[in-house]
Amino acid sequence: MQTLSIVSIEAIRELTPFSPAEANLTQLVPRFAQPSEGLYGEILEVAISSIRSHATKNFMVGWFEVTEGAHQCFSKDLNAWVEFRNKKPAHGVLSRADAQLWVPKLIDLTERALRCFSNALPVIDGAKLRVSLGDSEFNLVTPLIYHGRAIVVAGITPRKGIWKLKGQFLNVDVSDEVMLDLPSNTVFDVGVELGSLRFDLKDVDVGDRVQSVYYNVPVRQTDTFEGRTKELDTLKEWMKDEDTRYCLIYGDGGFGKTTLALEFLNRLLEGEIEVDGKFPSVISYYSSKMTRWTSDGLVHFKGVSDAMEDSIRELLLCLYPVIEKKWYQVSGTALIDKVAGELAEQKFQRDDVLLVLDNTETLATSPEKVEELSDFFKKAGKKVGRILITSRRREFLPATGIQVAGLSDAEALRLMRRLGNEYAAVAINQAGDPWLRQVCAQLTNKPLLIDTLVKYIARSGSGIDAALEQIMRKTSDELLEFLYQDAWMRIDDLRRRVFLILVSLACPIDGRCVGDACQEVGLQHVDFQSGLDETYFVTTTDRGATYDVEIVELAKQFFLKQLQRVDAAGRDEIKRIAEKVDKQALRREQLEKAYVRDRVADAFRSQYAKAAKIA
């Protein structure tokens, strides 16, 4: 059924006048992120009618029809199996009587599926999968075979704009996991359309019920998250304690405060963390900055209040596609009261909202500003929602404090081993545990330094002692400068030009801006992106279908020095391209706002439709 569903989605694009989005599959296709048994039947219910109308009338005959030897159509029998599977084997007790009843039914269901639908299955043609439907043929884009072995899809999700398929080989002896990049024209990219809403909506299993959650939380920062069990348990306890309005994750840079927060939030949304208390209906993530991109260009906030008020206004994007002018005409306590009132009118109470504020130390540097920031937190936490904060500073708040320091010796060793395998760092993989423990201790068990060391060894091919000497004898800034120079020498001229364009932009940098810059210099976006994380030039916030990029301050200075070394004609060309990318970003911003207003106004004309949207 999974293979037939994917074939159907691609057939709609290849053989009908419609895209998957136009064929009413927009809500179904994204559920391949965590596919369930019932999903494939829902997709086929929609897709079969479209394919029969525009491609071939004989597509999957038997799905709706009662075929010879059957008592009812295949779709009804399949639904009966899915209901039984969810009720008994998956979430209940499977008895011997159940097995005796369903084993012959399941054999019959399988044989009917192969008999009725085999002509819709793809055929291996060399390294490709060829689909023949009626008089038409096309090659399947989604890689359901790899090295000649069939794959069962476990999930399809975007990471930093690149769609990835996670699956397992269909093999009774060894079912290894596999992760594959999907091509840029994948049919699963139905949600990255003009005017998409800022918040996603997801159903989360909470105990014996399902909770719908609006969220804009970025994807977790690393696939090699290690340790932090105590900190995760403290976050879980804070979620249960509804009387505590604030939680503060604090510590020096490089220890993984944001990584910890995003790991916890993603586990929460994936249903991996059980919360006994109130589960939030809205989770709003806000990366603290002193600038905002508007239709008038980049606006610098005048003070702490302006910056934090922007985080409160952003909550409204879970209700409305754009923030109207009236919300910018109030500020301070009046804004907090107005937003709290609007949320209450839409049936969201203060315990329904979790506001996540990342890197708040960037907003206040003087004692007066720090006090102003703390006052704002207190007001927002009392009226709008609970607040989770990450900061290098111990903010003045009655908060549950979680200090993020170095990993334990065992955690640091496991992290170094995992990174050594991931980056193929030969010296790390060949070293013994006692020696690696000493190395981790010299790096104060700091995740960022461990990552830096392993990456440097993997890239340079040097030994541990030589790499450790390079890292330990430098200050933090000198270390970054050294890493920047090393990375700059390793990348080619096209990538260098892209970085110089990005540092010259006025607009906030996201995946689309990076793509525009790459297009201007003649570089594939995916090629530039593949090495982005390894350079230490930027921090990226992965939002799945796209990503935000922030150039590290020291890297900005490094790039500007490199820009000055370019001849006058080269600098003029980079400036011209940067201005063009800025204009494209501004144009996109204006088009999206206009498109969303029109689309939502058209879709939700009646009060009943609006109520259904909120519900």
CATH code (residue 522): 1.10.10
Instruction: Report the C-alpha gap between 200 and 424 in whole angstroms.
Output: 36
Q: Specify whether 556 is located in the same domain as 468.
A: no
Tell me the CATH number at 344.
Answer: 3.40.50.300
Q: Lowest mean pLDDT: which of 243-252, 501-510, 589-598?
A: 589-598
Structure tokens belonging to residue 103: 């084993």
Structure tokens belonging to residue 125: 């043609």
Of the candidates 311, 300, 306, the one whose C-alpha atom is nearest the C-alpha of residue 372 is: 306
pLDDT of residue 192: 41
* Max Cα distance, the chain (Å): 83
Residue 535 included in any domain: yes
Instruction: Report the C-alpha gap between 42 and 13 in whole angstroms.
Output: 18
- Cβ atoms 515, 546 nearer than 8 A: no
Arithmetic mean of pLDDT, 22-43: 77
Q: Specify whether 414 is located in the same domain as 396.
A: no
> Three-class SS of residue 462?
coil
Residue 309 included in any domain: yes
- Taking each helix axis from N to C end, the angle separating 447-460 and 409-423, rounded to the nearest 10 degrees, works out to 30
Q: Lowest mean pLDDT: which of 335-344, 381-390, 553-562?
A: 553-562
Residue 612 included in any domain: no
Q: Specify whether 314 is located in the same domain as 428.
A: no
Rounded to 5°, angle at Cα 334 from 332 and 340? 105
Choose between 435 and 444: higher pLDDT.
435
- Prediction pTM value: 0.54
Residue 186 included in any domain: no
- Cβ atoms 315, 353 nearer than 8 A: yes
Q: Specify whether 215 is located in the same domain as 284.
A: yes
Q: Specify whether 224 is located in the same domain as 327.
A: yes
Arithmetic mean of pLDDT, 557-584: 89
End-to-end CA distance of the chain: 32
User: Quick check: 576 pLDDT over 90?
Assistant: yes
Choose between 477 and 517: higher pLDDT.
517
Torsion over CA of 169, 172, 174 and 175, rounded to 10 degrees? 30
Confidence bin at 553 (pLDDT 50/70/90): confident
Of the three residues 374, 403, 432, the one that is the final residue of a domain is 403
User: Quick check: 297 pLDDT over 50?
Assistant: no
pLDDT of residue 482: 65
Residue 125 included in any domain: yes
Residue 322 included in any domain: yes
Q: Specify whether 227 is located in the same domain as 355.
A: yes
The residue type of 148 is G
Helix then strand count (H, E) for the chain reads 21, 19
Of the three residues 181, 212, 234, the one that is the final residue of a domain is 181
- Cβ atoms 353, 282 nearer than 8 A: yes
Residue 481 included in any domain: no
How many domains does the chain fold into?
4
Q: Specify whether 144 is located in the same domain as 35.
A: yes
Confidence bin at 289 (pLDDT 50/70/90): low
The sign of the CA dihedral 83, 88, 90, 95 is negative
> Three-class SS of residue 291?
strand
Q: Specify whether 322 is located in the same domain as 422.
A: no
Q: Specify whether 449 is located in the same domain as 536.
A: no
Residue 37 included in any domain: yes
> Three-class SS of residue 101?
helix
Instruction: Report the C-alpha gap between 79 and 154 in whole angstroms.
Output: 21
| Residue found under tokens 């704009």 | 161
Residue 199's DSSP bridge partners are: none
Q: Specify whether 537 is located in the same domain as 396.
A: no
Q: Specify whether 138 is located in the same domain as 213.
A: no
Q: Specify whether 141 is located in the same domain as 275.
A: no
User: What's the domain range around 233?
Assistant: 200-403
- Cβ atoms 18, 100 nearer than 8 A: no
CA separation (Å) from 495 to 76, 225, 553?
55, 29, 19
Q: Average model confidence (pLDDT) for the chain?
A: 79
Of the three residues 427, 443, 473, the one that is the final residue of a domain is 473
